[in-house]
Structure 1
Protein backbone atom coordinates (compact mmCIF):
# COMPACT_ATOMS: atom_id res chain seq x y z
CA UNK A 1 0.00 0.00 0.00
CA UNK A 2 1.10 3.58 -0.59
CA UNK A 3 1.80 5.40 2.67
CA UNK A 4 -1.10 7.64 3.66
CA UNK A 5 1.11 10.61 4.52
CA UNK A 6 4.45 11.81 3.30
CA UNK A 7 6.23 14.75 4.91
CA UNK A 8 8.61 16.95 2.93
CA UNK A 9 10.62 19.82 4.43
CA UNK A 10 11.58 22.91 2.46
CA UNK A 11 14.52 24.93 3.74
CA UNK A 12 13.53 23.96 7.29
CA UNK A 13 10.66 26.44 7.14
CA UNK A 14 7.76 24.60 5.59
CA UNK A 15 6.56 21.06 6.05
CA UNK A 16 4.13 19.65 3.50
CA UNK A 17 1.96 16.67 4.30
CA UNK A 18 0.95 14.93 1.10
CA UNK A 19 -1.78 12.34 0.95
CA UNK A 20 -2.94 9.90 -1.72
CA UNK A 21 -6.43 9.87 -0.24
CA UNK A 22 -9.06 11.72 -2.28
CA UNK A 23 -11.47 13.78 -0.18
CA UNK A 24 -13.91 16.66 -0.54
CA UNK A 25 -12.70 20.20 0.19
CA UNK A 26 -14.46 20.40 3.56
CA UNK A 27 -13.08 17.06 4.70
CA UNK A 28 -9.58 17.87 3.42
CA UNK A 29 -9.68 21.17 5.31
CA UNK A 30 -10.66 19.34 8.50
CA UNK A 31 -7.84 16.80 8.06
CA UNK A 32 -5.26 19.57 7.67
CA UNK A 33 -6.54 21.35 10.77
CA UNK A 34 -6.38 18.11 12.71
CA UNK A 35 -2.73 17.78 11.67
CA UNK A 36 -2.01 21.29 12.94
CA UNK A 37 -1.89 23.00 9.55
CA UNK A 38 -4.04 24.15 6.67
CA UNK A 39 -4.52 23.55 2.97
CA UNK A 40 -1.30 24.86 1.44
CA UNK A 41 -1.01 27.85 -0.85
CA UNK A 42 2.26 27.64 -2.76
CA UNK A 43 4.05 30.95 -2.93
CA UNK A 44 7.12 30.24 -5.03
CA UNK A 45 8.29 28.17 -7.96
CA UNK A 46 10.59 26.32 -5.56
CA UNK A 47 7.67 25.23 -3.41
CA UNK A 48 5.68 24.22 -6.45
CA UNK A 49 8.54 22.13 -7.80
CA UNK A 50 8.55 20.10 -4.61
CA UNK A 51 5.03 18.93 -5.41
CA UNK A 52 6.39 16.79 -8.19
CA UNK A 53 7.87 14.62 -5.45
CA UNK A 54 4.30 13.65 -4.67
CA UNK A 55 4.46 11.35 -7.65
CA UNK A 56 6.11 8.64 -5.58
CA UNK A 57 5.35 5.97 -8.12
CA UNK A 58 6.91 7.84 -11.01
CA UNK A 59 9.94 8.60 -8.86
CA UNK A 60 10.34 4.93 -7.98
CA UNK A 61 9.94 3.95 -11.62
CA UNK A 62 12.63 6.37 -12.78
CA UNK A 63 14.98 5.04 -10.11
CA UNK A 64 14.26 1.48 -11.21
CA UNK A 65 12.99 0.54 -7.75
CA UNK A 66 9.26 0.32 -8.36
CA UNK A 67 8.95 -3.39 -7.66
CA UNK A 68 11.27 -3.13 -4.66
CA UNK A 69 9.38 -0.25 -3.05
CA UNK A 70 6.76 -0.45 -0.33
CA UNK A 71 4.11 0.27 -2.93
CA UNK A 72 1.88 -2.68 -3.79
CA UNK A 73 2.86 -3.41 -7.40
CA UNK A 74 1.25 -6.12 -9.49
CA UNK A 75 3.39 -8.23 -11.79
CA UNK A 76 1.83 -9.25 -15.08
CA UNK A 77 2.63 -12.50 -16.86
CA UNK A 78 5.79 -12.06 -18.89
CA UNK A 79 5.05 -12.63 -22.58
CA UNK A 80 7.42 -11.51 -25.37
CA UNK A 81 6.14 -8.62 -27.46
CA UNK A 82 4.99 -9.81 -30.86
CA UNK A 83 3.40 -12.98 -29.45
CA UNK A 84 -0.14 -13.74 -30.66
CA UNK A 85 -2.82 -12.71 -28.13
CA UNK A 86 -0.18 -11.16 -25.89
CA UNK A 87 -2.81 -8.80 -24.44
CA UNK A 88 -4.78 -11.69 -22.97
CA UNK A 89 -1.76 -13.78 -22.00
CA UNK A 90 -0.24 -11.02 -19.84
CA UNK A 91 -3.29 -11.05 -17.52
CA UNK A 92 -1.86 -11.67 -14.02
CA UNK A 93 -3.06 -14.16 -11.44
CA UNK A 94 -6.18 -12.94 -9.65
CA UNK A 95 -7.73 -11.31 -12.72
CA UNK A 96 -9.66 -12.54 -15.75
CA UNK A 97 -10.79 -11.06 -19.05
CA UNK A 98 -14.44 -11.80 -19.78
CA UNK A 99 -17.69 -10.20 -20.89
CA UNK A 100 -18.11 -6.64 -19.61
CA UNK A 101 -21.30 -5.30 -18.07
CA UNK A 102 -20.78 -2.02 -19.94
CA UNK A 103 -23.06 -1.91 -23.03
CA UNK A 104 -21.17 -2.15 -26.35
CA UNK A 105 -17.89 -2.76 -24.52
CA UNK A 106 -17.38 -6.47 -25.30
CA UNK A 107 -14.62 -7.84 -23.05
CA UNK A 108 -13.65 -6.38 -19.69
CA UNK A 109 -11.26 -7.07 -16.81
CA UNK A 110 -12.55 -8.62 -13.59
CA UNK A 111 -10.98 -9.27 -10.20
CA UNK A 112 -11.08 -12.92 -9.13
CA UNK A 113 -9.65 -12.10 -5.69
CA UNK A 114 -9.80 -9.05 -3.38
CA UNK A 115 -7.37 -6.33 -4.49
CA UNK A 116 -6.15 -3.62 -2.06
CA UNK A 117 -6.72 0.06 -2.70
CA UNK A 118 -3.76 1.87 -4.30
CA UNK A 119 -2.43 -1.25 -6.00
CA UNK A 120 -0.32 -0.40 -9.04
CA UNK A 121 -1.69 -2.59 -11.82
CA UNK A 122 1.18 -1.82 -14.13
CA UNK A 123 2.18 0.13 -17.20
CA UNK A 124 -0.20 0.44 -20.15
CA UNK A 125 1.73 -0.95 -23.09
CA UNK A 126 1.46 -0.32 -26.81
CA UNK A 127 3.08 1.40 -29.76
CA UNK A 128 4.41 4.87 -28.92
CA UNK A 129 3.46 7.17 -31.81
CA UNK A 130 3.37 10.92 -32.39
CA UNK A 131 0.17 10.87 -34.44
CA UNK A 132 -3.03 8.85 -34.52
CA UNK A 133 -6.60 9.09 -35.75
CA UNK A 134 -7.88 6.05 -33.86
CA UNK A 135 -8.29 6.68 -30.12
CA UNK A 136 -10.08 3.42 -29.27
CA UNK A 137 -7.10 2.03 -27.33
CA UNK A 138 -5.02 5.19 -27.14
CA UNK A 139 -3.74 7.35 -24.28
CA UNK A 140 -2.15 10.75 -24.79
CA UNK A 141 1.09 11.32 -22.89
CA UNK A 142 3.80 13.97 -22.93
CA UNK A 143 7.54 13.82 -23.34
CA UNK A 144 9.15 17.20 -22.89
CA UNK A 145 7.40 19.55 -25.30
CA UNK A 146 6.15 16.70 -27.52
CA UNK A 147 2.72 15.12 -27.49
CA UNK A 148 2.85 11.36 -27.87
CA UNK A 149 0.28 8.58 -27.90
CA UNK A 150 0.38 5.04 -26.54
CA UNK A 151 -1.65 2.94 -28.98
CA UNK A 152 -2.69 -0.41 -27.51
CA UNK A 153 -4.76 -1.57 -30.47
CA UNK A 154 -2.24 -4.21 -31.52
CA UNK A 155 -2.83 -7.17 -29.17
CA UNK A 156 0.62 -8.61 -29.84
CA UNK A 157 2.26 -5.41 -28.52
CA UNK A 158 -0.18 -4.26 -25.84
CA UNK A 159 -1.04 -5.90 -22.51
CA UNK A 160 -4.05 -6.85 -20.39
CA UNK A 161 -4.78 -3.26 -19.31
CA UNK A 162 -6.19 -2.59 -22.79
CA UNK A 163 -9.30 -4.54 -21.77
CA UNK A 164 -10.23 -2.26 -18.85
CA UNK A 165 -13.42 -0.46 -19.83
CA UNK A 166 -14.83 3.02 -19.40
CA UNK A 167 -16.68 3.92 -16.19
CA UNK A 168 -20.13 5.45 -16.62
CA UNK A 169 -19.98 7.60 -13.49
CA UNK A 170 -17.71 8.48 -10.59
CA UNK A 171 -19.34 5.95 -8.29
CA UNK A 172 -18.41 2.86 -10.30
CA UNK A 173 -14.94 4.16 -11.25
CA UNK A 174 -12.32 2.17 -9.34
CA UNK A 175 -9.20 2.70 -11.48
CA UNK A 176 -7.20 5.85 -12.16
CA UNK A 177 -4.05 6.57 -14.16
CA UNK A 178 -0.98 8.75 -13.94
CA UNK A 179 1.75 9.68 -16.39
CA UNK A 180 5.45 9.20 -15.83
CA UNK A 181 7.38 10.80 -18.67
CA UNK A 182 5.98 9.09 -21.78
CA UNK A 183 4.49 6.15 -19.86
CA UNK A 184 1.02 5.56 -18.42
CA UNK A 185 0.33 3.59 -15.25
CA UNK A 186 -2.94 2.24 -13.84
CA UNK A 187 -3.74 1.93 -10.12
CA UNK A 188 -6.78 1.06 -8.02
CA UNK A 189 -8.57 3.91 -6.24
CA UNK A 190 -10.78 1.59 -4.20
CA UNK A 191 -10.46 -1.80 -2.57
CA UNK A 192 -11.76 -4.27 -5.15
CA UNK A 193 -13.96 -7.09 -3.99
CA UNK A 194 -13.96 -10.46 -5.70
CA UNK A 195 -15.81 -10.37 -9.01
CA UNK A 196 -15.52 -6.60 -9.49
CA UNK A 197 -15.15 -5.18 -12.99
CA UNK A 198 -12.23 -2.77 -13.31
CA UNK A 199 -13.38 0.57 -14.73
CA UNK A 200 -11.54 3.78 -15.55
CA UNK A 201 -12.71 7.06 -17.13
CA UNK A 202 -11.30 7.45 -20.65
CA UNK A 203 -12.80 10.84 -21.46
CA UNK A 204 -15.89 12.38 -22.97
CA UNK A 205 -15.36 11.32 -26.59
CA UNK A 206 -14.85 7.65 -25.79
CA UNK A 207 -17.69 7.73 -23.26
CA UNK A 208 -20.12 9.10 -25.84
CA UNK A 209 -19.08 6.39 -28.29
CA UNK A 210 -20.22 3.88 -25.66
CA UNK A 211 -23.44 5.81 -25.14
CA UNK A 212 -22.22 7.25 -21.82
CA UNK A 213 -23.05 10.87 -21.13
CA UNK A 214 -21.20 11.74 -17.95
CA UNK A 215 -21.22 15.17 -16.44
CA UNK A 216 -17.80 16.02 -15.07
CA UNK A 217 -15.75 19.24 -14.77
CA UNK A 218 -13.34 17.99 -17.42
CA UNK A 219 -12.67 21.38 -18.95
CA UNK A 220 -10.99 22.40 -15.72
CA UNK A 221 -9.25 19.11 -14.97
CA UNK A 222 -7.89 17.32 -18.05
CA UNK A 223 -8.44 13.59 -18.37
CA UNK A 224 -5.44 11.69 -17.04
CA UNK A 225 -3.97 14.72 -15.27
CA UNK A 226 -2.82 14.56 -11.67
CA UNK A 227 -4.74 17.07 -9.55
CA UNK A 228 -4.03 18.20 -6.00
CA UNK A 229 -6.34 20.42 -3.97
CA UNK A 230 -4.61 23.27 -2.15
CA UNK A 231 -5.85 26.37 -0.33
CA UNK A 232 -7.80 29.51 -1.12
CA UNK A 233 -6.70 33.00 -2.08
CA UNK A 234 -8.72 36.16 -2.60
CA UNK A 235 -8.65 39.16 -4.93
CA UNK A 236 -8.89 42.68 -3.52
CA UNK A 237 -7.68 46.07 -4.73
CA UNK A 238 -6.41 44.54 -7.99
CA UNK A 239 -4.15 42.14 -6.13
CA UNK A 240 -4.12 38.51 -4.96
CA UNK A 241 -3.80 37.84 -1.22
CA UNK A 242 -3.40 34.82 1.03
CA UNK A 243 -6.13 34.09 3.55
CA UNK A 244 -3.85 35.49 6.29
CA UNK A 245 -3.63 38.80 4.36
CA UNK A 246 -0.04 38.20 3.27
CA UNK A 247 1.01 38.95 -0.29
CA UNK A 248 0.83 36.40 -3.08
CA UNK A 249 4.26 36.72 -4.67
CA UNK A 250 3.83 33.92 -7.20
CA UNK A 251 0.97 32.78 -9.42
CA UNK A 252 0.83 30.10 -12.07
CA UNK A 253 -2.67 30.16 -13.49
CA UNK A 254 -3.54 27.89 -16.38
CA UNK A 255 -3.89 30.34 -19.24
CA UNK A 256 -7.33 29.21 -20.31
CA UNK A 257 -8.80 29.40 -16.81
CA UNK A 258 -7.56 32.65 -15.31
CA UNK A 259 -10.04 34.65 -17.38
CA UNK A 260 -12.84 32.61 -15.80
CA UNK A 261 -12.01 33.80 -12.30
CA UNK A 262 -14.81 36.08 -11.16
CA UNK A 263 -15.22 35.31 -7.47
CA UNK A 264 -13.43 37.33 -4.82
CA UNK A 265 -12.32 34.16 -3.02
CA UNK A 266 -10.87 31.42 -5.21
CA UNK A 267 -10.28 27.80 -4.22
CA UNK A 268 -7.20 26.41 -5.99
CA UNK A 269 -6.42 23.06 -7.52
CA UNK A 270 -2.95 22.24 -8.86
CA UNK A 271 -3.20 20.28 -12.08
CA UNK A 272 -0.28 18.68 -13.87
CA UNK A 273 -0.52 19.65 -17.53
CA UNK A 274 2.11 18.55 -20.02
CA UNK A 275 4.53 17.80 -17.22
CA UNK A 276 4.07 21.17 -15.48
CA UNK A 277 1.92 22.22 -12.54
CA UNK A 278 -0.62 24.99 -13.11
CA UNK A 279 -3.29 26.57 -10.93
CA UNK A 280 -6.95 26.06 -11.76
CA UNK A 281 -9.87 27.69 -9.91
CA UNK A 282 -12.09 25.11 -8.23
CA UNK A 283 -15.68 26.09 -8.91
CA UNK A 284 -19.07 24.95 -7.67
CA UNK A 285 -19.54 21.54 -9.29
CA UNK A 286 -22.79 20.69 -7.52
CA UNK A 287 -24.49 20.38 -10.92
CA UNK A 288 -21.97 17.75 -11.99
CA UNK A 289 -20.95 15.98 -8.80
CA UNK A 290 -23.20 14.72 -6.02
CA UNK A 291 -23.30 17.16 -3.06
CA UNK A 292 -20.53 19.20 -4.72
CA UNK A 293 -18.09 16.71 -3.16
CA UNK A 294 -15.49 16.64 -5.90
CA UNK A 295 -12.87 14.39 -4.36
CA UNK A 296 -9.20 15.11 -4.99
CA UNK A 297 -5.86 14.40 -3.38
CA UNK A 298 -4.81 17.34 -1.25
CA UNK A 299 -1.80 19.02 0.31
CA UNK A 300 -1.44 20.31 3.88
CA UNK A 301 1.13 22.87 4.98
CA UNK A 302 2.36 22.39 8.52
CA UNK A 303 4.33 25.24 10.15
CA UNK A 304 7.66 24.10 11.58
CA UNK A 305 9.25 25.38 14.77
CA UNK A 306 12.53 27.20 14.34
CA UNK A 307 14.45 24.28 15.85
CA UNK A 308 12.83 21.66 13.61
CA UNK A 309 15.07 19.67 11.28
Structure 2
Protein backbone atom coordinates (compact mmCIF):
# COMPACT_ATOMS: atom_id res chain seq x y z
CA UNK A 1 0.00 0.00 0.00
CA UNK A 2 1.12 3.60 -0.53
CA UNK A 3 -0.04 6.95 0.75
CA UNK A 4 1.41 9.68 -1.43
CA UNK A 5 4.17 10.68 -3.78
CA UNK A 6 7.32 12.79 -3.91
CA UNK A 7 6.48 16.41 -4.77
CA UNK A 8 9.70 16.66 -6.78
CA UNK A 9 9.89 13.49 -8.94
CA UNK A 10 6.31 12.20 -8.38
CA UNK A 11 7.60 8.80 -7.26
CA UNK A 12 4.97 6.85 -5.33
CA UNK A 13 5.98 6.54 -1.67
CA UNK A 14 5.32 3.09 -0.26
CA UNK A 15 4.92 2.40 3.45
CA UNK A 16 7.81 0.40 4.86
CA UNK A 17 10.00 0.96 1.82
CA UNK A 18 10.53 4.70 1.46
CA UNK A 19 11.67 7.34 3.93
CA UNK A 20 10.02 10.62 2.95
CA UNK A 21 11.33 13.99 4.09
CA UNK A 22 9.09 16.97 4.84
CA UNK A 23 9.92 20.67 4.60
CA UNK A 24 9.85 22.34 8.02
CA UNK A 25 9.05 25.81 6.66
CA UNK A 26 6.53 25.35 3.81
CA UNK A 27 3.00 26.33 4.93
CA UNK A 28 1.67 23.20 3.23
CA UNK A 29 3.00 19.64 3.28
CA UNK A 30 5.91 19.34 0.84
CA UNK A 31 7.34 15.82 0.76
CA UNK A 32 10.37 14.49 -1.13
CA UNK A 33 11.85 11.01 -1.40
CA UNK A 34 15.29 10.01 -0.15
CA UNK A 35 16.79 10.49 -3.63
CA UNK A 36 15.41 13.99 -4.22
CA UNK A 37 16.43 15.31 -0.80
CA UNK A 38 20.00 15.80 -2.08
CA UNK A 39 18.74 18.22 -4.77
CA UNK A 40 16.69 20.41 -2.44
CA UNK A 41 19.41 23.01 -1.70
CA UNK A 42 19.16 24.20 -5.33
CA UNK A 43 15.63 23.10 -6.26
CA UNK A 44 13.89 24.41 -3.13
CA UNK A 45 14.31 27.64 -1.11
CA UNK A 46 17.82 27.38 0.32
CA UNK A 47 16.79 28.66 3.76
CA UNK A 48 14.27 25.83 4.17
CA UNK A 49 15.23 22.71 6.13
CA UNK A 50 13.95 19.14 5.90
CA UNK A 51 13.45 16.40 8.44
CA UNK A 52 12.47 12.75 8.20
CA UNK A 53 8.71 12.44 8.26
CA UNK A 54 6.58 9.99 10.20
CA UNK A 55 3.57 10.88 8.06
CA UNK A 56 3.46 7.46 6.40
CA UNK A 57 3.33 5.75 9.81
CA UNK A 58 0.42 7.96 10.81
CA UNK A 59 -1.30 7.22 7.51
CA UNK A 60 -0.68 3.52 8.00
CA UNK A 61 -2.38 3.66 11.40
CA UNK A 62 -5.34 5.56 9.97
CA UNK A 63 -5.68 2.98 7.19
CA UNK A 64 -5.30 0.15 9.68
CA UNK A 65 -8.16 1.53 11.80
CA UNK A 66 -10.63 1.81 8.91
CA UNK A 67 -13.76 -0.28 9.44
CA UNK A 68 -14.65 -3.17 7.11
CA UNK A 69 -18.31 -2.17 6.92
CA UNK A 70 -20.81 -5.02 6.71
CA UNK A 71 -18.17 -7.71 7.23
CA UNK A 72 -18.72 -10.20 10.08
CA UNK A 73 -15.81 -11.86 11.87
CA UNK A 74 -16.63 -15.59 11.91
CA UNK A 75 -14.43 -16.00 14.99
CA UNK A 76 -15.75 -13.51 17.55
CA UNK A 77 -18.88 -12.33 15.73
CA UNK A 78 -17.83 -8.67 15.56
CA UNK A 79 -19.46 -6.83 12.68
CA UNK A 80 -17.74 -4.01 10.77
CA UNK A 81 -14.47 -4.65 12.58
CA UNK A 82 -11.33 -2.55 12.20
CA UNK A 83 -7.75 -3.58 11.59
CA UNK A 84 -6.66 -6.31 9.19
CA UNK A 85 -9.26 -8.50 7.50
CA UNK A 86 -8.36 -12.13 6.72
CA UNK A 87 -10.47 -14.17 4.26
CA UNK A 88 -10.19 -17.93 3.75
CA UNK A 89 -9.35 -18.88 0.16
CA UNK A 90 -10.51 -22.49 0.59
CA UNK A 91 -14.05 -21.94 1.88
CA UNK A 92 -16.84 -21.81 -0.71
CA UNK A 93 -18.73 -19.26 1.38
CA UNK A 94 -17.28 -16.11 2.86
CA UNK A 95 -15.22 -16.88 5.95
CA UNK A 96 -13.56 -13.82 7.45
CA UNK A 97 -11.57 -13.25 10.61
CA UNK A 98 -10.39 -10.11 12.34
CA UNK A 99 -6.74 -9.79 13.37
CA UNK A 100 -7.58 -10.83 16.95
CA UNK A 101 -9.02 -14.18 15.85
CA UNK A 102 -6.57 -15.11 13.11
CA UNK A 103 -4.23 -16.91 15.55
CA UNK A 104 -6.90 -19.17 17.09
CA UNK A 105 -8.52 -20.72 14.00
CA UNK A 106 -8.37 -24.31 12.67
CA UNK A 107 -5.34 -25.08 10.55
CA UNK A 108 -7.39 -26.25 7.54
CA UNK A 109 -7.95 -22.65 6.43
CA UNK A 110 -5.72 -20.65 4.11
CA UNK A 111 -6.13 -16.94 4.62
CA UNK A 112 -5.47 -13.91 2.46
CA UNK A 113 -5.38 -10.31 3.68
CA UNK A 114 -8.16 -8.22 2.09
CA UNK A 115 -7.48 -4.49 1.71
CA UNK A 116 -10.11 -2.04 2.83
CA UNK A 117 -12.11 -0.82 -0.22
CA UNK A 118 -11.74 2.80 0.89
CA UNK A 119 -7.97 2.44 1.03
CA UNK A 120 -7.91 0.95 -2.46
CA UNK A 121 -10.03 3.84 -3.72
CA UNK A 122 -7.54 6.34 -2.27
CA UNK A 123 -4.68 4.46 -3.91
CA UNK A 124 -6.47 4.43 -7.27
CA UNK A 125 -6.93 8.19 -7.08
CA UNK A 126 -3.21 8.68 -6.52
CA UNK A 127 -2.43 6.24 -9.32
CA UNK A 128 -4.71 8.16 -11.67
CA UNK A 129 -2.94 11.39 -10.79
CA UNK A 130 0.44 9.74 -11.37
CA UNK A 131 -0.74 8.49 -14.80
CA UNK A 132 -1.75 12.01 -15.80
CA UNK A 133 1.48 13.58 -14.60
CA UNK A 134 4.06 10.94 -15.48
CA UNK A 135 2.79 8.30 -17.92
CA UNK A 136 0.60 10.45 -20.18
CA UNK A 137 3.46 12.62 -21.45
CA UNK A 138 5.10 9.52 -22.93
CA UNK A 139 1.98 8.84 -25.03
CA UNK A 140 2.20 12.13 -26.93
CA UNK A 141 4.95 14.04 -28.70
CA UNK A 142 6.91 15.47 -25.78
CA UNK A 143 7.21 18.81 -27.56
CA UNK A 144 3.41 18.96 -27.77
CA UNK A 145 2.69 17.89 -24.21
CA UNK A 146 1.56 21.32 -22.99
CA UNK A 147 -0.85 21.54 -25.94
CA UNK A 148 -2.07 17.99 -25.33
CA UNK A 149 -3.21 18.87 -21.80
CA UNK A 150 -5.78 21.38 -23.13
CA UNK A 151 -9.34 20.60 -21.91
CA UNK A 152 -10.89 21.06 -25.35
CA UNK A 153 -14.45 20.92 -24.02
CA UNK A 154 -13.73 24.23 -22.28
CA UNK A 155 -10.91 26.02 -24.13
CA UNK A 156 -8.87 25.80 -27.32
CA UNK A 157 -5.43 27.08 -28.39
CA UNK A 158 -5.13 29.41 -31.37
CA UNK A 159 -3.25 32.51 -32.53
CA UNK A 160 -3.63 35.21 -29.91
CA UNK A 161 -5.82 38.24 -30.53
CA UNK A 162 -3.00 40.35 -29.07
CA UNK A 163 -0.26 41.59 -31.42
CA UNK A 164 2.98 39.57 -31.37
CA UNK A 165 1.74 37.37 -28.52
CA UNK A 166 2.04 34.02 -30.29
CA UNK A 167 -0.54 31.44 -29.24
CA UNK A 168 -3.41 32.17 -26.87
CA UNK A 169 -6.22 30.39 -25.03
CA UNK A 170 -9.87 30.89 -26.08
CA UNK A 171 -13.15 29.79 -24.55
CA UNK A 172 -14.88 26.98 -26.47
CA UNK A 173 -17.92 27.34 -24.20
CA UNK A 174 -19.22 30.02 -21.86
CA UNK A 175 -17.07 30.06 -18.71
CA UNK A 176 -18.91 31.23 -15.62
CA UNK A 177 -17.50 33.75 -13.18
CA UNK A 178 -15.49 32.17 -10.33
CA UNK A 179 -14.45 29.15 -12.40
CA UNK A 180 -10.87 28.11 -11.65
CA UNK A 181 -8.12 26.40 -13.64
CA UNK A 182 -4.91 24.79 -12.47
CA UNK A 183 -2.56 24.14 -11.05
CA UNK A 184 -0.02 25.93 -13.20
CA UNK A 185 2.59 23.29 -14.09
CA UNK A 186 6.29 23.92 -14.47
CA UNK A 187 9.68 23.58 -12.81
CA UNK A 188 9.79 24.67 -9.17
CA UNK A 189 12.96 26.70 -8.74
CA UNK A 190 14.69 28.13 -5.71
CA UNK A 191 14.43 31.87 -5.13
CA UNK A 192 18.23 31.95 -5.42
CA UNK A 193 17.81 31.28 -9.16
CA UNK A 194 15.05 33.81 -9.72
CA UNK A 195 17.21 36.01 -11.93
CA UNK A 196 17.24 33.19 -14.46
CA UNK A 197 13.45 32.89 -14.55
CA UNK A 198 11.68 33.09 -17.91
CA UNK A 199 8.60 35.11 -18.85
CA UNK A 200 6.55 31.96 -18.06
CA UNK A 201 7.45 32.07 -14.34
CA UNK A 202 5.20 32.86 -11.39
CA UNK A 203 6.53 33.73 -7.93
CA UNK A 204 4.99 31.83 -5.01
CA UNK A 205 4.84 33.95 -1.86
CA UNK A 206 4.50 32.94 1.76
CA UNK A 207 2.04 34.56 4.20
CA UNK A 208 4.49 37.39 4.83
CA UNK A 209 4.77 38.23 1.16
CA UNK A 210 8.27 36.79 0.71
CA UNK A 211 9.10 34.72 -2.37
CA UNK A 212 9.47 31.03 -1.42
CA UNK A 213 10.20 29.78 -4.96
CA UNK A 214 8.95 30.26 -8.49
CA UNK A 215 7.19 27.96 -10.96
CA UNK A 216 8.57 28.24 -14.48
CA UNK A 217 6.60 26.82 -17.42
CA UNK A 218 9.23 27.71 -20.00
CA UNK A 219 9.60 24.06 -21.08
CA UNK A 220 6.56 22.78 -23.08
CA UNK A 221 7.64 19.25 -22.17
CA UNK A 222 7.13 19.95 -18.47
CA UNK A 223 4.16 22.35 -18.33
CA UNK A 224 0.49 22.50 -19.24
CA UNK A 225 -1.89 24.60 -21.33
CA UNK A 226 -1.96 27.45 -18.79
CA UNK A 227 1.41 28.58 -20.15
CA UNK A 228 -0.44 29.85 -23.25
CA UNK A 229 -2.65 32.28 -21.30
CA UNK A 230 -1.44 35.77 -22.22
CA UNK A 231 -1.20 39.08 -20.37
CA UNK A 232 -3.82 41.74 -21.32
CA UNK A 233 -2.83 45.10 -22.78
CA UNK A 234 -5.43 46.98 -20.74
CA UNK A 235 -7.58 46.51 -17.65
CA UNK A 236 -10.82 45.94 -19.61
CA UNK A 237 -9.36 42.84 -21.34
CA UNK A 238 -8.51 41.09 -18.09
CA UNK A 239 -10.86 38.19 -17.23
CA UNK A 240 -8.67 36.00 -14.98
CA UNK A 241 -6.70 36.56 -11.82
CA UNK A 242 -3.93 34.40 -10.36
CA UNK A 243 -3.99 33.04 -6.82
CA UNK A 244 -1.87 30.76 -4.65
CA UNK A 245 -3.42 27.73 -2.97
CA UNK A 246 -1.32 25.20 -1.02
CA UNK A 247 1.82 26.34 -2.81
CA UNK A 248 0.41 26.09 -6.35
CA UNK A 249 -0.75 28.74 -8.83
CA UNK A 250 -4.36 28.72 -10.04
CA UNK A 251 -6.32 31.03 -12.36
CA UNK A 252 -9.78 32.26 -11.33
CA UNK A 253 -12.27 33.84 -13.74
CA UNK A 254 -13.33 37.24 -12.39
CA UNK A 255 -16.27 37.57 -14.79
CA UNK A 256 -18.19 35.49 -17.30
CA UNK A 257 -16.09 34.64 -20.37
CA UNK A 258 -18.01 34.23 -23.60
CA UNK A 259 -17.40 31.70 -26.39
CA UNK A 260 -14.47 32.75 -28.57
CA UNK A 261 -13.11 35.23 -26.03
CA UNK A 262 -9.43 34.99 -25.19
CA UNK A 263 -8.49 34.17 -21.58
CA UNK A 264 -6.14 36.84 -20.19
CA UNK A 265 -4.43 37.15 -16.79
CA UNK A 266 -2.31 40.05 -15.57
CA UNK A 267 1.28 38.87 -15.11
CA UNK A 268 2.35 41.66 -12.78
CA UNK A 269 3.92 45.10 -13.08
CA UNK A 270 7.45 43.93 -13.89
CA UNK A 271 6.33 41.92 -16.92
CA UNK A 272 3.82 44.58 -18.05
CA UNK A 273 6.48 47.28 -18.00
CA UNK A 274 8.64 45.21 -20.35
CA UNK A 275 5.70 45.20 -22.79
CA UNK A 276 5.19 48.92 -22.44
CA UNK A 277 1.81 48.47 -20.70
CA UNK A 278 0.57 51.20 -18.36
CA UNK A 279 0.64 49.43 -15.00
CA UNK A 280 -1.31 52.12 -13.12
CA UNK A 281 -4.61 50.90 -14.56
CA UNK A 282 -4.10 47.50 -12.88
CA UNK A 283 -3.41 48.93 -9.42
Q: Which band: TM-score by shorter chain?
A: 0.3 to 0.5
TM-score between the two structures when normalised by the length of structure 2: 0.46
Q: Which has the higher helix share?
A: 2
- Where is the strand percentage greater, Structure 1 or Structure 2? 1
Normalising by structure 1, we get a TM-score of 0.43
